[in-house]
């Protein structure tokens, strides 16, 4: 039930109708019986900065920001958490009691929580190299999470090598090794983890072309894409016996810190939640 004292947050983007965040947060609000709402905030580019700065005046607790506003939010918030500062983008804005704005990035948290919850008990990221494909905002979050988890080496490959080199330079960690996209299949040799953070394999996009022959059989393969839930990459990995982790859990786990900050409850990611977000009928 929503009353005049309800806590309000939302997701800001342009467009925003595709976002599953209202479904996800709405589920949690109902499940935990919280007086609140999470709403879509479709905001045209010429009004985006004004809209973000207006959150305190409107009484909102904060918002998620999605494409194309993650870098804008990074520039205008009053404070950044260390993860957002390292990644260079904000996906979660918190309105503090004094009306100032704090920017966070929870992509890395969501990626790692999903991976940790779904990986075999004996697996450890510290046991060998990780291969990350892509160099967008999601890749930055993945790389930061892997560095923080103790990955001894990260082989970062992107179609435009300069973008991967930029991530390596920005993060300044010698464990990041930038490779040539044409060598992506050979880069799998000895790896304990393969992460696809590109759009390849998503519905409407071509599949990721990669030969998994060099990948050890106990290496985990994960894809941040969740439409379809099982991408061609994951199907190929399953066929050769590798453990796989789909991308839906990253979406669900990355939402937890914001929900906790806005609504005061640390929500749980459950099988019921996964089913609901995939098919809310």
Q: Which of 27, 36, 55, 70 is catalytic?
A: 70
Per-position b or e across 63-98, b if 16+ CB within 10 A of its CB:
bbbbeebbebbbeebeebbebbebbbbbbbbbbeee
* CA 31 and chain centroid, separation: 23
Query: b/e per residue, 103-119, with b = 16+ CB within 10 A?
Result: bbbbbbbbbbbbbeeeb
Residue 172 Ramachandran class (φ > 0 left, ψ -120 to 50 alpha, else beta) = left
70 is catalytic: yes
Report how far residue 118's alpha carbon sits from residue 244's, in angstroms, rounded to the nearest whole number.
8
Element (H, E) at 138: helix 137-148
Name residue 103's beta-bridge partners. Answer: 80, 93
A 10 A CB-CB count for 186 gives 13
Token pair for 168: 């390596």
Q: How far apart are the C-alpha atoms of 261 and 259, rounded to whole Å?
A: 5
Asked whether the beta carbons of 225 and 249 are under 8 A apart, the reply is no
Active site residues: 70
């Amino acid at each position: 039930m929503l009353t005049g004292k309800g806590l309000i947050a939302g997701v800001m983007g342009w467009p925003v109708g595709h976002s599953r965040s209202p479904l996800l947060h709405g589920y949690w609000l109902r499940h935990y019986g919280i007086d609140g709402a999470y709403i879509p905030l479709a905001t045209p580019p010429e009004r985006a900065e004004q809209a973000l700065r207006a959150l305190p005046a409107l009484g909102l607790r904060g918002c998620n920001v999605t494409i194309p506003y993650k870098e804008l939010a990074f520039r205008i918030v009053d404070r950044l958490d260390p993860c957002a500062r390292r990644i260079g983008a904000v996906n979660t804005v918190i309105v503090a009691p004094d009306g100032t704005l704090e920017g966070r990035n929870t992509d890395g948290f969501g990626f790692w929580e999903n991976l940790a919850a779904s990986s075999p008990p004996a697996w450890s990221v510290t046991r060998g190299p990780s291969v990350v494909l892509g160099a967008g905002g999601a890749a930055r979050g993945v790389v930061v999470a892997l560095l923080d988890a103790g990955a001894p080496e990260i082989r970062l490959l992107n179609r435009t090598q300069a973008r991967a080199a930029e991530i390596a330079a920005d993060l300044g960690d010698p464990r990041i090794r930038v490779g040539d996209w044409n060598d992506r299949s050979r880069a799998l040799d000895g790896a304990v983890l393969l992460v696809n953070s590109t759009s390849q394999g998503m519905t409407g996009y071509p599949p990721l072309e990669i030969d998994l022959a060099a990948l050890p059989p106990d290496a985990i393969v994960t894809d941040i894409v969740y439409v379809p839930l099982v991408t061609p990459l994951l199907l190929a990995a399953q066929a050769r016996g590798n453990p796989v982790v789909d991308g839906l859990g990253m979406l669900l786990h990355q939402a937890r810190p914001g929900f906790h900050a806005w609504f005061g409850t640390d929500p749980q990611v459950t099988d019921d939640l996964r089913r609901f977000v995939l098919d809310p009928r």
